[in-house]
Amino acid sequence: MSSDLAGHARSWLAQDPDPDTRAELEKLLESGDGDALRERFGSRLEFGTAGLRGELGAGPNRMNRVTVMRAAAGLARVLGPGKHVVIGYDARHKSDAFARDTAAVLTGAGLRASVLPGPLPTPVLAFAVRHLGADAGVTVTASHNPPRDNGYKVYWGDGSQIVPPVDAEISAAIDATGPVSELPLGSPGDPSWNELDDGVVAAYLKAVTALPIGGARELRVAYTPLHGVGGDTLARAFVAAGFDAPATVEAQAEPDPDFPTVAFPNPEEPGAMDLALELAERVGADLILANDPDADRCAVGVPLPGGGYRMLTGDEVGALLGEHVIRQTSGDDRLVATTIVSSSLLGKIAAEYGVRYAETLTGFKWIMKAGEGLLFGYEEALGYSVGSDLGLPVHDKDGIGAALTVAGIAARAKLEGRGLLDLLDDLARRHGLHATSQLSFRVADLSLITGAMARLRATPPARLGGREVETADDLSLGAGGLPPTDGVRYHLAGGARVVVRPSGTEPKLKCYLEVVVPVTGEVSAARARAVEDLDALKADLSEALGL
């Protein structure tokens, strides 16, 4: 173990207020475990547009109280004294402590802090920023990451996540922060430290229950919050909107930072929805709903005609919600938006109704910047923001508002003797069957991803899945007026599309595939053809990538 590494660790130890991470670090120093220290001190968590996210533990490459206090100090420096910040948190390990450390640093720096009244969904925080007229917001959450992780997400005064250059300004201010033990700290009871009550949650519920849900209410719903913080808020929203409270998976109903019943607390992961599917069978549910642990995403499952259930894709739910919002609102300036990796179907729905449509880079921080008049936005990763003629109550993805609106759509369909699958078939008959899928490559060596992207740029494939590549866009050049991002996009004959991009949070190369199959007979035949076409695309793309 180098003396520099040990010195860095001891300097960190001297400022660390947390007995847990102090004990961890003292043990590593005593044992001389250089490898473990290098993991924690050889690099640091980078503050970007997603804020911070990482494994809990001691050192600058971990999430801990020092890292959080430095982030709060950077935010305070960028905002300046007198500004108002709302702070929320989920139920993960250390989330409450990180939230209160943030309030202490902000108030100590001369800012005002309002802390939400307990572990609550991320969309409540996003709503509260605008509701309270704050200058910024912070939520402590790692969304659907593993139990060992936590994170720190920053919102600006418009209630949406920060985008460049604000992230770089905060990062530079963090770098300029000295030892946190020298920071002036406020405390609860200070005039600038406000502990919010349930009134802010009630205001959020009033806003989301005013969404264009429709008038039908008879529906049996099976629901899981996946051990997260969405359960109580969703149940209150359903009852306030006039629905029966959903039947909830008992083993996953209460917040639990260890997520004991799932390998990975993400409704998209295999096995995560097993208990919800079992509950749906027992109660004869008309609809399955799930939130991820911070309840900003919503998963939807539907009964199959021959028995059983299947989960809808994010693109399928996005199409259903998009058409519903368009049909339930009015005005010439309405805008709907999705990302470049989501299905192109929303654009065709928008054209059918004469509504403006926009595509953005991936991430809700970009969707919320799509333009004036935005009433609906979604991304294929189960994120949706639903609005009305009054606008968007939440300028971020909102798993509670989306769940309510999906329930309203399903209840109306049930009243007519139909289901959500019937509505999807209607869309397929009008616009063609739009089928999407993903192909991901996880690597141990990031140079493999760099090499694969370089090959795609140097020699783009002429054909994929038996279809001619009609256009190839290098997204790093800012194709189509979008900000530059690392990725390539291919438009193929017949309306198919492929987007390839490195993941921003994991050592993965992610490929987003779409095919469009005309419906001339039964929709089921088009679905079978789409599966074949997607498989052919995956095979050719795998060969082109060389991974």
Residues labelled catalytic: 143
User: What are residue 310's DSSP bridge partners?
Assistant: 302
Angle at 314 between CA 462 and CA 45, to 5 degrees: 85
Rounded-to-5 percentages of helix, strand, coil across the chain: 40, 20, 40
Q: Are 128 and 86 in contact (CB under 8 A)?
A: yes
User: What DSSP letter does each residue of 151-220 carry, written as one string?
Assistant: EEEEEETTSSB--TTHHHHHHHHHHT---GGGS----TTSTTEEE--THHHHHHHHHHTTSS--S-----
Q: Are 480 and 404 in contact (CB under 8 A)?
A: no
Residue 532 host element (H or E): helix 523-545
CB-based contacts of 93, cutoff 8 Å, min separation 6: 56, 147, 150, 257
Contact 160, 126 (CB under 8 A): yes
Q: What is the DSSP string of 44-61?
A: -PPPBTTBEEEEBSSSTT
**Order of strands across the sheet with 112-115?**
52-55, 149-156, 136-140, 84-89, 112-115, 193-195
* Contact (Cβ atoms closer than 8 angstroms) between residue 82 and residue 186: no
- The widest CA-to-CA distance across the chain, in whole angstroms, is 73
Phi, psi of 232 (to 5 degrees): -65, -45
- SS3 call for 468: strand
First CA to last CA across the chain, in angstroms? 36
